């Protein structure tokens, strides 16, 4: 194989959903990317509350705003018809739309509460535990009902 062929193959893997991946521009690729960002953001926040990372109030407050913004975004990337491949979303997402939307709104409400909690002065880790657990609970509640693994 020439270098040129290898380059073409590598580019194909990057741009298409070839090679077992997911096209990052597809609705599935977009919602997965948002969910991953939500996980990444909340992991760092949890890390601060659990003492794995040093608590930085300003950073935590900024992350709460980011998480609240991210929480609004995945839902528009669930298309009208379920994809056949690569999705971990159960068919129930489409069959029980009202319940799915209810849990989406519950997440948004919990992240909004978390943002409010970060306005406390002085901002301390202890006061944020409860609101953060509510957010985590919202993630888990929906995954339990609507995600396959």
The residues in 92-111 that bind ligand HEC, with binding defined as CB under 6 A, are 93, 100, 103-104, 107
Q: Among 6, 18, 39, 62, which residue sits at the site for ligand HEC (rule: CB under 6 A)?
A: 39
Contact assessment for residue 28 and residue 83, using Cβ atoms and an 8 Å cutoff: yes
Task: Kindly state whether residue 35 participates in binding ligand HEC, applying the rule CB under 6 A.
Answer: yes
- Asked whether position 36 contacts ligand HEC by CB under 6 A, the answer is yes
Stretch that binds ligand HEC, among 12-20, 32-40, 53-61, 119-127 (CB under 6 A): 32-40
Q: Does 134 bind ligand HEC (CB under 6 A)?
A: no
- Here the tokens at position 56 are 């930085």
Instruction: Give the nearest distance from C-beta 117 to ligand HEC in angstroms.
Output: 15
Q: Which is nearer to ligand HEC, 9 or 39 (CB)?
A: 39
Cα separation, 21 vs 34, in Å, equals 16
Instruction: Give me the residue label for tokens 């209810």.
Output: 102
Which of 60, 87, 118, 132 binds ligand HEC (CB under 6 A)? It is 87
State the nearest-atom distance from the C-beta of 141 to ligand HEC, in Å: 7
For residues 102 and 12, give the distance between their C-alpha atoms in angstroms, rounded to a whole number. 39
> CB 99: neighbour CB atoms within 10 A?
14
The nearer residue to ligand HEC, 46 or 59, going by C-beta atoms, is: 46
Does residue 38 touch ligand HEC according to CB under 6 A? yes
Question: Are 70 and 34 in contact, with CB atoms under 8 Å apart?
Answer: yes
> Can you give the length of the chain in residues?
149
Query: Among 140, 117, 133, 106, which Cα is nearest to 60's?
Result: 117
């Amino acid at each position: 194989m020439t270098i040129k062929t290898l380059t073409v193959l590598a580019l194909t893997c990057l741009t298409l959903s070839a090679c077992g991946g997911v096209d990052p521009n597809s609705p599935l690729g977009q919602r997965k990317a948002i969910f991953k960002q939500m996980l990444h953001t909340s992991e760092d926040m949890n890390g601060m509350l659990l003492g794995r990372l040093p608590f930085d109030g300003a950073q935590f407050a900024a992350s709460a705003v980011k998480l609240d913004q991210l929480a609004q975004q995945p839902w528009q990337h669930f298309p009208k018809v379920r994809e056949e491949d690569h999705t971990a979303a159960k068919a129930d997402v489409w069959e029980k739309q009202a319940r799915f939307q209810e849990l989406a709104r519950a997440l948004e409400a919990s992240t909004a509460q978390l943002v409010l909690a970060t306005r406390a002065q002085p901002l301390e880790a202890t006061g944020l535990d409860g609101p953060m657990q509510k957010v985590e609970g919202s993630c888990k509640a929906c995954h339990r009902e609507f995600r396959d693994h």
